[in-house]
Amino acid sequence: MNRFRPVCLLLALLTGCVATTPPPPAEPSPFVLPGGSPRNVRIGFVQGYPLSSLSVPVLLLPGTLVQDKMVVVSRDPRLNPTAVLEITGVRGHIAIARIVRGQPQPKDEVVLPSTDLSERSQELPP
């Protein structure tokens, strides 16, 4: 029986290992660095607002500093731009932003625009 123990152990190890196939790579996006992290600096998130409003509240991340007339871009979870926003006021951790182009949705991420993102956001309807 002693000589079967190493054979059984070897068989258990070989059959217990299952090869998994890696998931297919995601589509490359001009808004993501090669490592998968976004290239734009996140400043906050669009909060709920009436969709007929011309301004939206943006919940700023802790430590974020914004100024009046600063232009930012909101984007969806797929990192596509949804709106161009101009900061018009700051009250504590909430910035009020005027919608310049597009239509942001609640919970959209708000970022500082890069050149690529600025160009893509100009395709949004006014």
Kindly report the three-state secondary structure assignment for every residue of 2-51.
CCHHHHHHHHHHHHHCCCCCCCCCCCCCCCECCCCCECCCEEEEECCCCC
Whether 5 is in a domain gets the answer no
The domain that contains 110 carries what CATH number?
A: 2.40.10.170
Whether 111 is in a domain gets the answer yes
Q: What rounded mean pLDDT belongs to the chain?
A: 83
Whether 68 is in a domain gets the answer yes
Enclosing domain of residue 59:
28-121
Whether 63 is in a domain gets the answer yes
- Asked whether residue 15 carries a pLDDT value surpassing 70, the answer given is no
Whether 103 is in a domain gets the answer yes
Average pLDDT over residues 51-77: 93
* pTM across the whole model: 0.71
Whether 2 is in a domain gets the answer no
Structure confidence at residue 68 (pLDDT): 94
Total structural domains in the chain? 1
Whether 12 is in a domain gets the answer no
- Asked whether residue 30 carries a pLDDT value surpassing 60, the answer given is no
Whether 32 is in a domain gets the answer yes
CA distance 88 to 95: 8
Q: With bands split at pLDDT 50, 70 and 90, how would you rate the model's confidence at 100?
A: very high
